[in-house]
Amino acid sequence: MALEIERKFLVTGDGWRAAAREVVPMAQGYINDQKAMDEGAMKASVRVRIAGDEAFLNLKSRELGHTRQEFDYAIPVADARALLALCVGGLVDKRRHYVQHEGHLWEVDEFLGDNAGLVVAEIELSSADEAFARPEWIGAEVTESSRYYNLALATRPFAQWNADERAGLVA
């Protein structure tokens, strides 16, 4: 079993762009939806992702916060395309930019389509208390806010958020 320790932040400005060393287009969908998770009918999200020329099936436990169980399996791209057609909710399209900053790799997700305008950065850590330097382009932490989880964005995309939600004024 793999354990993912990840923190998520809003991104302010474009200062990260110059430091991005790689960009990978991603399309992903979910076999289950946010409602099934919220109601406890499912204890893990089931995601299908095409990332560049690779594809993955991913299961992630439903705990809110920075530490969750995660299982990730490579699958053929043709299978991923077929599975994406079976997904509920919308697809999440984004470009993932990989940015090194003071010894850590940041993944900056620039969302497209119904989530256009949203940019978040994630950092995976070795332990929950691991120290890391925050780049100047990092804004508010949203790790504890399920609205920013990709599963939630597939169900209720950024385009449907009200002005307070977009401004980060609502938890």
Active site residues: 30
Amino acid (1-letter code) at residue 15 = G
CA torsion, points 86, 75, 152, 132, in degrees to nearest 10?
A: 180
Among candidate residues 4, 46, 16, 29, the one with its CA nearest the CA of residue 143 = 4
What is the phi/psi pair of residue 127, to 5°? -150, 160
Among candidate residues 86, 99, 100, the one with its CA nearest the CA of residue 30 = 86
CA torsion, points 157, 139, 16, 102, in degrees to nearest 10?
A: -130
